[in-house]
Structure 1
Amino acid sequence: MNKINCVLFDLYNTLFKFYPDREETQYQASKLIDLKIDKSQFKDAILKSDSWFAEQTAKKSMHLLSDKEKFLFYCEYEKNLFGHLGQNLSESEVKKIWTYVYSQKSSLKKYDDVIPCLKFLKENNFSVGIITNIDAKGEDLSKDLNLSNYIFKIITSYDAGESKPSPKIFKYALNVFDHDPSECVFIGDQIETDVIGARNSNITPILLDREGQHSYYEECQVINNLNELQFIL
């Protein structure tokens, strides 16, 4: 690995997770249509559906979809998720579940290893940023996340006009951070959008595998938590 000066992160499932847990929200939604599914089964189904989500958004960025198209897309996500639970939901059931999930108030909660990792990076003078497919202004997101003491800039698909894995969003970020790709690493949890996207932009990818899904993966460095970064950089 070349001398690294810039560390870039994905956001969801890398630095932050939803609170309440998505398993709880989906479990409560399932009860609306009288499904009797053990809550413990939802975690694996969500992880598999998130991979599907990444594959689909790699083909067409969410920020290019109309509100109606986004609604239908998330309904398809729910159908995929419950398919992994052995359920073949009707169109009306899927819409009912997504409408409930969308209506629930949630917040983003940092993983326990995030602040220690960011402190290490700051103390060692790394430039640190986030690249995310969120369809919102990075400046607004930065205020909400309250990480300005550690993060130089958050680049979103809204800012760049493209989503991961498009090289355009990575190129946009590199211009903002004023670093060559050879000086950067990108850490994310999805192979399709994060690993392949970074590699296609000549940035060294690191796959964060918090749930042990990708122990087989050999195309790049794999870590299980952010504490491992200090031994790599």
Structure 2
Amino acid sequence: MLKTKISDVFFDLDHTLWDFEKNSALAFETILKKHGIRVDVAEFVAKYVPVNSRYWKLYQDDQVTQEQLRYGRLKDVFDTINYEISDETIHLLAEEYIHYLPQYNHLFEGTIELLNYLKPKYKLHIITNGFNQIQFNKLKNSNIAHYFETVTNSENAGFKKPNPQIFHYALEISKSNKETSVMIGDNFEADIEGALNVGIDAIMFNEHNIEVAEDIKQVNNLLALKNYL
């Protein structure tokens, strides 16, 4: 059970509501084919997933810039599969990937049903480490923007999850209180620990059943959140 009566529900976006892996694979399929890059798309995407996660952790910890993230994750994958490609082409692919990614709009199973269930009962919000325009496009193109009262991202907040300041910023612009709020996300460190450390209750969307401490509230299906909210 949640600690108190909840009025505001904060969601992470990528990997929580918006199916990043599926949409990312479709974007890569489009741009690699467009530029005649002869690689096995399935292999490329399989290599990309852990590399991207590593770069986002570095970005989250302020160890790489946005530009280094976008270039480095692609450079590392091409190096891993021993595919020779120029830096100029990598930079072009990085830009095109960002352009095409929000054009695909697969959501996790149960997202719309859950949001329809929650919307009449709570104020809903987004807190994301993603980039402002891209995250806006994802919300708009997947037809879920209208569910959310506020969207906090690391660009407008000036801080990234799990930094306490991004949560304080989100509470401030949403005019909500930490005691009556809950954070839902897939990343244990950024979403769950980040929220708990500032006194916001949290539920982990644990689709892959990662082992976490017994006292962490978790679901592996979005509709199971109805048991808490």
Shorter-chain TM-score category? 0.7 to 0.9
Matches within 5 A, 1:148-227: 149-210=146-207, 212=208, 214-218=209-213, 220-227=216-223
Change (3 A) 1:50 1:162: same
User: Aligned with 2:28: secondary structure?
Assistant: helix
Unaligned runs of 5+ in 2: none
Partner of 2:32: 29
Partner of 1:103: 96
What is the CA-CA distance between 1:229 and the residue it aligns to? Answer: 0.6
Q: Normalising by the residue count of structure 2, what TM-score does the alignment of the two structures yield?
A: 0.76
Unaligned runs of 5+ in 1: none
State the Cα RMSD in Å. 3.4
Q: Residues 166 and 197 of structure 1 are in contact (CA less than 8 Å); yes or no, is this contact kept in structure 2? A: yes
Change (3 A) 1:59 1:215: closer
Q: Distance in 2 between matches of 1:138 and 1:25?
A: 13
Letter of the structure 2 residue corresponding to residue 60 of structure 1: D
User: Aligned with 1:164: secondary structure?
Assistant: coil
Q: Cα deviations across residues 5-53 of structure 1 (Å, max 9, x unaligned)?
A: 2210111222224698322443553985543x3x444554343234213
Change (3 A) 1:223 1:136: same
Letter of the structure 1 residue corresponding to residue 81 of structure 2: Q
Q: Distance in 1 between matches of 2:177 and 2:162?
A: 18
Change (3 A) 1:143 1:14: closer
What is the CA-CA distance between 1:100 and the residue it aligns to? Answer: 2.0
Partner of 2:15: 13
Q: Percent identity?
A: 24
Q: Normalising by the residue count of structure 1, what TM-score does the alignment of the two structures yield?
A: 0.75
